[in-house]
Amino acid sequence: MSELTRRELIVAGAAAAVPLAAGARAPEVLIRATRVPLAIGSTNGAQFRNGGLRTALEEAYARMVAGEDVLAAAVAGVSLNELDPLEESVGYGGLPNAEGVVQLDASVMHGTRRRAGGVAALEGVRTPAAVALAVAEATDHHLLVGEGAQRFARQMGFAVEPDLNTENSRRKWREWKAKIDPAHWLDPSRRDAAADAAREAMIAEGRIDPMHACGTVNLCVLGPAGELAGVTTTSGLSWKIPGRVGDSPILGAGLYVDGEVGAAGSTGRGEANLYSLACFFVVEELRRGAHPKDAGMAALERVRRNTTEKRLLDPQGNPNFGLQFYVLDRQGRAAGVSLYADYRGSIAKWASCGEGGLEVRECEALLPSLAPA
């Protein structure tokens, strides 16, 4: 049995002292200690190792166990994804915008210390989450963007490169460009429609993972003493309009952490998340006493109700996009929830790493499936 907390031992002792009626069964009051370290998040945090032995979740967990600050551990974890050239959804080699430029977003929150930082539309720096952490620790601000974020990163000693494309990301951008612009579209509405159609075609052809076309890694952690923190990092929607910023660097949307309550992060369609400030909503549901699964499902239902534009609906009137939440409360309860159980042929999953090692599970889902476009 896992080690019990002092409070749990006291409760157990008190229960043992209560006399039982003849034939009555003693209540089962010995419960597992709740504040064991735990890292949860998106499944790409359980896939990429950048040539090393650990994934992001394993790295964050190991660092917490060794006594490192929870937010520093989480940022070190996601940096493995950001630096991995095979990972297309974040950092170095993340799929670029419509002009072929990799622009990165990230946010971090330390719930216990009540510190937060973010960067958006950052170019040339492979590890935007680390820059977001520097914003939280070295400035009085929460969000830096564009050239200002890059200038800050350079001042803080981060290497700034002229191009974060890999041969893979550049090749896929050229393929996408060829699909949308064979005749040099002049009508913006036709060009945008062609861009969306090309993205969907590349997903259907298996060229882009449907679960990561919006390109994000989320990782939330609970430390040995109950400290909470989280990080969300992304290269954003593949082939996005230059300068587009989604939910990932926005506190309350792509990430929210309250040290007394819990943490929530998200991947999927950022605009839907922004409209609902869904991660803030999830944490507030936790504050009201909801289980992480129920808090996440309430946020998904809110997004479903808020999605009314015809272009964003499938033939059944449900959202035609994917969205996932990863939720962790201060008691150590965790859940991964998804708008769809089966999103265009890809089963929605979430991952965790605790004392039992790395685990990947299927998400609880609001809706059963969304067929390929």
- CA-nearest of 223, 233, 218 to 337 is 218
DSSP class of residue 330 equals T
* Cα–Cα distance, 30 to 10 (Å, whole number): 10
Q: Are 82 and 91 in contact (CB under 8 A)?
A: yes
Strand 104-110 and strand 115-122: the pairing is antiparallel
Choose the catalytic residue: 216, 234, 267, 307. Answer: 216
Output the CA torsion sign for 209, 212, 215, 221: negative
Q: Are 106 and 128 in contact (CB under 8 A)?
A: yes
For the question of residue 216 being annotated catalytic, the response is yes
Reported as type and span, the H/E element at residue 268 is strand 262-268
Beta-carbon contacts of residue 211 (< 8 Å; ≥ 6 apart): 43, 267, 322, 343, 346, 348
Active centre residues (catalytic)? 216
